[in-house]
Amino acid sequence: MQWTVILKKELTENWRNFKWIWVPIVFILISIMDPISTYYMPIIIESAGGLPEGTIIDIPMPNPSEAMMMSFSQLNIIGVLILTVISMGTISGEIKSGVYELVLAKPVKYTNYVTAKFFSYWLLMIVSLFLGLLASWYYINLLFGDLAFSQLIVAALFYACWLTLLIAIVILYNTWFKSPGLIAFLSIITVIILSVMTNIFSHVLGWSPAKITEYIAIYLHTGDLDTEIWFSSLIALLVSLSCLLFAIVSLRNKAID
């Protein structure tokens, strides 16, 4: 099937340029970084020295759910940045180099082309996210106390909706602009605007996908899933779907020069 042919090519490409190796590793590192460094902070400060004799270091230890949120907030910045950068040229780069013309000369369906590309990055995102959160969960259980594995999985799934939207936005911009740098810049700006707007109008934008992280924090703390988290995740998935549809349409109407 044509879709699997394109997907296989994408997976091979990202395997050969080592994205399948470094992206999961970086996700693991950024997920465990904050919880571990927080735990060892007293020891680090002590061994660094320079403190007057008799100083008592008393940093309150976060509870497991707070430690988990440290991972999420790192992913929300560095993770988003990495996902944007690795996918910023997936279509625009092929158009720019000209290989798109060869691909298109074959009876390739635009739907297959766009969705297979999206799915290949979505897979990379899911795998990296789960590996990162799994590593973080392991250390949190070791250092801070118990956090149910089921809670981790549920939180990861909801968070994945937010990152799904991010990838869909990058794919859409890929069909609008030629320069990968511009695509990355605009994607990040879009996410920032979305987050800022959500913060400013939070009383009316309860369903905003930018709120997912906030709801995850509540969920990890209380263990209860509000309707709002379902709602904002659903919105994230619907908007992702429309981004992909727009991407297909705009690619179909694109003039190549």
Instruction: Report the nearest approach of another protein to the CB of residue 125 (Å).
Output: 22
Q: With binding defined as CB under 8 A, does residue 52 bind another protein?
A: no
Q: With binding defined as CB under 8 A, does residue 255 bind another protein?
A: yes
Instruction: Report the nearest approach of another protein to the CB of residue 83 (Å).
Output: 21
Kindly indicate which of the ranges 9-17, 45-53, 173-181, 197-205 contains the residues binding another protein, using the contact rule CB under 8 A. Answer: 9-17
Number of residues that bind another protein (CB under 8 A): 20
d(CA 228, CA 125): 24
Burial profile 45-54: b = 16 or more Cβ within 10 angstroms, e = fewer: eeeeeeeeee
Our CB check for another protein shows the closer of 17 and 37 to be: 17
Instruction: Report the nearest approach of another protein to the CB of residue 97 (Å).
Output: 5
- Pair 126, 160: CB distance under 8 Å: yes
Instruction: Report the nearest approach of another protein to the CB of residue 27 (Å).
Output: 23
Instruction: Report the nearest approach of another protein to the CB of residue 177 (Å).
Output: 19
Question: Within a 10 A sphere around the Cβ of 114, how many other Cβ atoms?
Answer: 28
Our CB check for another protein shows the closer of 119 and 231 to be: 119
d(CA 199, CA 187): 18
Question: Within a 10 A sphere around the Cβ of 117, how many other Cβ atoms?
Answer: 23
Q: With binding defined as CB under 8 A, does residue 123 bind another protein?
A: no
- Reduced to 3 states (helix: H, G, I; strand: E, B; else coil), residue 18 is coil
Structure tokens of 108? 């390739």
Q: With binding defined as CB under 8 A, does residue 256 bind another protein?
A: yes
The residues, any chain, with a CB within 8 Å of residue 35's CB and separated by 6 or more, are 62, 67, 68, 70, 71, 136, 139, 140, 143, 144
- Pair 133, 53: CB distance under 8 Å: no
Q: With binding defined as CB under 8 A, does residue 5 bind another protein?
A: yes
Instruction: Report the nearest approach of another protein to the CB of residue 244 (Å).
Output: 20
Our CB check for another protein shows the closer of 86 and 212 to be: 86
Question: Looking only at residues 77 through 116 of this chain, which bind another protein when binding is defined by CB under 8 A?
Answer: 97-99, 101-108
Closest CA to 62 of 217, 252, 251: 217
**Residue ranges that bind another protein, judged by CB under 8 A:** 2, 5-6, 9, 13, 16-17, 97-99, 101-108, 255-256
